[in-house]
Amino acid sequence: MAELKITKQNYEAEVLKSDVPVLLDFWASWCGPCRMLSPVVEKIAKEYEGIAKVGKINVDEEQELAAAFKVVSIPTVVVMKNGKIVSTSTGFKPKEKIAAMLDKAV
């Protein structure tokens, strides 16, 4: 399954009401570290298919969501479970670190 595009319109259904943990990638097209992280997030989305969701939130398009999560630096990765934040990471991290965040929630 590819990453989901999370917007304020589908946030409640896809994230808050999700029955599996959700990894959210806050990014922007102009952000170099975000572009480096993108293939990592894509691999995680494929590997965790069926046990977790992976969503991408473009901070330029979804400023309300970025503000709600107090995102001040990107990329920011947030793992949520049962509608609550369980871990957060800012900046580029290798796949193992991002997967470890998600593993704690599944």
Residues known to be catalytic: 31, 34
CA 62 – CA 98 distance, rounded (Å): 22
Please name the residues in contact with 14: beta carbons below 8 A apart, sequence gap of 6 or more.
4, 6, 22, 53, 55
Q: Alpha-carbon distance 27 to 42, whole Å?
A: 13
Residue whose C-alpha is closest to residue 73's, from 103, 105, 28, 20: 28
Report the DSSP beta bridge partners of residue 57.
Answer: 26
